[in-house]
Amino acid sequence: MLINKDTIIKDTDPKIREKSLDVTLPLSEEDESLLRELLQYVIDSTDEEKAEELNLQPAVGISAIQVGIPKKLTAVVVNDYDKNGDPITYQYMLANPRIVSSSVQKAYLEAGEGCLSVKDVHEGYVVRNARIKVKAFDLCTNQEIEIRARDYLAIVLQHEIDHFSGILYYDHIDKNNPFSHPSDATKI
């Protein structure tokens, strides 16, 4: 499957609002192949030369619905820092991810969120949970895993999991006061 700026469906397409379905485990060859292609998109999209050559927009995650397939599949690659301040890369190919718990503490990206499926700029803060626990099957490790995510990784995972319900990041922005946020929310 060719995945690039032209083939990723946009928010003007009603399909992006469809609910995604669970996939069966073990993964079918088709689902496994799709997850690998989604991951390759994310990896290649952050390489300037490849991104230009292949017509890719930089991304940290992409979900199957963004290529028109309503399945609970997503690939995420996040460069971040661990609790000691050391660089760390989180890389996942997730099937059926679900949030099983979340913190009361909130967080938001100071620069706002973006999405491969959204061309127009939607300014404002997207307030999410600062910490979440996700359970999923991860094709990278070929097993069921539990991810304890905080800050940026937690925001990315919530963004991708929202796609399974047809929710886009700007749906979370307060229409009357786009830059409002809880006073105790973590700014990232």
Q: Residue 65's domain is classified under what CATH number?
A: 3.90.45.10
φ/ψ of 145, rounded to 5, equals -135, 165
Instruction: Give residue 85's domain range.
Output: 14-187
Tell whether 55 is covered by a domain. Answer: yes
Q: Render each residue's pLDDT in the chain as its tens digit; 188 residues.
A: 899 999 999 999 999 999 999 999 999 999 999 999 999 999 999 999 999 999 999 999 999 999 999 999 999 999 998 889 899 999 999 999 999 999 999 999 999 999 999 999 999 999 999 999 999 999 999 999 999 999 999 999 999 999 999 999 999 999 999 999 999 999 99
Tell whether 146 is covered by a domain. Answer: yes
Tell whether 3 is covered by a domain. Answer: no
Query: Chain-wide mean pLDDT for the chain?
Result: 97
Q: Which of 49, 53, 123, 160 is catalytic?
A: 160
Tell whether 147 is covered by a domain. Answer: yes
Q: Is 146 a catalytic residue?
A: no
What does the pLDDT look like over 45-84, one tens digit per residue? 999 999 999 999 999 999 999 999 999 999 999 999 888 9
Tell whether 85 is covered by a domain. Answer: yes
Tell whether 31 is covered by a domain. Answer: yes
Tell whether 5 is covered by a domain. Answer: no
Please tell me the total count of domains within the chain.
1
Tell whether 86 is covered by a domain. Answer: yes
